[in-house]
């Protein structure tokens, strides 16, 4: 089995059931589980921020947020909320011992300088060779929202995507070629969805594992040329 297809599970306990699609919470937990101990990680605006709620202290993961913080903790709750302590998505967060704060420009320097091991972002589309589109649909009334996505997609050592596999119209969001404006080219290495986890190797997307469906059936539904899981 290819090394990248092997599960990077660093936790104890059971993995989510494969009998049904993953809930948002289970998907976030799976991504958190797959992050290697000691990593420096950026979690993109939106659903990826929930990954912070499932990181365990023993993983020693340091979270970076592009508005200028290292050592971010999980989302703040109740009396923990400090309106001056937020992530890039303006969600109140906690801080871990040793947390530090810095200028926005320094934060982008970390992103562009290759100092982040992993970034997790949402997406409108990912091509089968790893191109990413997540800042605009290109529609006339679309409001562009690139933020630091381009810097993260290219600057991080690994770019992981967390998204639904199918759009509201039923079309697959993994596509042979992007039809939306590109955020970055050949940058995505993993795609996490409620239906399956995919890895991208040497310009090809492969199914790592599926949830609630058979890999071959899912590939037929997707209508995209993706590889099936390797079997020992």
Catalytic residue list contains 14? no
Tokens 């947390």 correspond to what residue? 99
Distance CA 27, CA 34 (A): 11
162 close to 126: Cβ distance less than 8 angstroms: no
148 close to 111: Cβ distance less than 8 angstroms: yes
The CA R_g of the chain, rounded to the nearest whole Å, is 17
State in Å, rounded, how far the first CA of the chain is from the last one: 7
Q: Which two tokens stand for residue 193?
A: 């969805």
Distance CA 226, CA 73 (A): 36
Strand partners for 204: 201
Question: What sign for the dihedral angle of Cα 46, 50, 52, 55?
Answer: negative
Distance CA 3, CA 181 (A): 32
Catalytic residue among 3, 36, 58, 66: 66
Please identify every residue annotated as catalytic: 66
């Amino acid at each position: 089995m290819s090394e990248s297809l092997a599960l990077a599970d660093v936790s104890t306990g059971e993995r989510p059931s494969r009998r049904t699609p993953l809930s948002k919470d289970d998907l976030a937990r799976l991504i958190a589980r797959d992050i290697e101990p000691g990593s420096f990680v950026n979690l993109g605006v939106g659903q990826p921020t929930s990954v912070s709620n499932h990181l365990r202290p023993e993983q020693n993961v340091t979270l970076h947020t592009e508005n200028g913080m290292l050592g971010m903790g999980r989302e703040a709750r109740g009396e923990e909320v400090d309106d001056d302590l937020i992530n890039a998505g303006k969600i109140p967060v906690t801080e871990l011992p040793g947390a530090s704060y810095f200028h926005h420009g320094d934060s982008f320097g970390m992103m562009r300088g290759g100092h982040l091991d992993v970034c997790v972002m949402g997406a409108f589309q990912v091509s089968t060779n790893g191109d990413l589109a997540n800042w605009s649909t290109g529609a006339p009334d679309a409001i562009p929202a690139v933020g630091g996505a381009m810097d993260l997609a290219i600057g991080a050592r690994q770019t992981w995507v967390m998204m639904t596999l199918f759009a509201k119209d039923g079309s697959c969001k993994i596509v042979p070629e992007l039809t939306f404006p590109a955020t970055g080219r050949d940058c995505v290495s993993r795609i996490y969805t409620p239906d399956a986890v995919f890895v991208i190797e040497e310009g090809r997307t492969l199914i790592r594992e599926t949830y609630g469906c058979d890999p071959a059936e899912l590939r037929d539904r997707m209508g995209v040329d993706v590889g099936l899981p390797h079997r020992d």
